């Protein structure tokens, strides 16, 4: 009788053991959680400037400092001014809303193989995205034009993939400038709040791929500079 009952006892223990250890194992099992985003959402734009002086101060603070670690030829910028330059407008004389600009500043790095121009514009009452929409409208129809006072013909080209992903506040494109020689120049146009930051870049004797790569390298620095003021 004892021999016959032993298997029944063992069977009872085996039936009970999953229920006994199940809750303990469930408590120890790690819980799944959504992965943390690698790209934090930028803070909302700051309020628009309320005076010309404030706009000028914020524009100045957005100028890039490209030192020798960025490229040997950008150890020092070659020119900086506050002349009333216009934002790039391609086939048009100017973007309609750009005439309302309040503050503006240009910085140029002109080396043997690298040319970079940064231009920052601030507006008191015009959102930067309005300028982006106007430029985007121009790009829909403007494919080629004569560069004013330059003697060259510009053909718009779109590298694939683009140097920087485009979006509501970001536009990138390149131009093939043909005159006595042919060179390529790439442009990054960014907006945030009431400010616009434009970077034009050319590299390696106007090579298209080199210009696009240079713009890609500048983009995160330009983004940080714009977020600092707007």
pLDDT value at residue 1: 34
Averaged pLDDT of the chain:
84
| pLDDT score of 40 | 64
Q: Tens digit of pLDDT for each residue in 103-148?
A: 999 999 999 999 999 999 999 999 999 999 999 999 999 999 999 8
Look at the alpha carbons of 119, 124, 127, 131 in this order and tell me if their dihedral is positive or negative.
Answer: negative
- Give phi and psi for 218, each to the nearest 5: -75, -30
pLDDT at 148: 86
Q: Is the pTM of this model over 0.85?
A: no
pLDDT at 67 over 80: yes
Asked if pLDDT for residue 36 goes beyond 70, the answer is no
Tokens for 186, please give them. Answer: 């790439």
The proportion of the chain whose per-residue pLDDT surpasses 70, expressed as a percent, equals 83
> What's the rounded Cα separation, in Å, for the pair 58 and 127?
15
């Amino acid at each position: 009788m004892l021999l016959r009952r032993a298997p029944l006892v063992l069977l009872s223990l085996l039936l009970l053991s999953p229920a006994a250890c199940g809750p303990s194992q469930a408590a120890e099992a790690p819980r799944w959680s959504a992965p943390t985003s690698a790209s934090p959402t930028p803070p909302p734009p700051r309020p628009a400037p309320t005076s010309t002086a404030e706009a000028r101060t914020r524009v100045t603070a957005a100028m890039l400092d490209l030192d020798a670690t960025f490229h040997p030829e950008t150890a020092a910028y070659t020119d900086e001014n506050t002349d009333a330059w216009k934002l790039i407008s391609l086939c048009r004389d100017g973007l309609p809303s750009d005439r309302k600009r309040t503050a503006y500043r240009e910085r140029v790095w002109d080396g043997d193989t690298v040319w970079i121009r940064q231009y920052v514009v601030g507006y008191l009452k015009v959102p930067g995205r309005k300028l982006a929409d106007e430029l985007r409208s121009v790009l829909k129809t403007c494919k080629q034009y004569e560069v004013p006072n330059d003697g060259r013909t510009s053909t718009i080209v779109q590298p694939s993939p683009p140097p920087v992903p485009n979006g509501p506040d970001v536009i990138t494109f390149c131009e093939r400038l043909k005159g006595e020689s042919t060179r390529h120049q790439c442009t990054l146009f960014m907006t945030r709040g009431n400010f616009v930051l434009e970077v034009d870049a050319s590299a390696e004797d106007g090579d298209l791929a080199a210009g696009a790569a240079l713009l890609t390298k500048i983009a995160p620095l330009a983004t940080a500079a714009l977020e600092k003021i707007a």
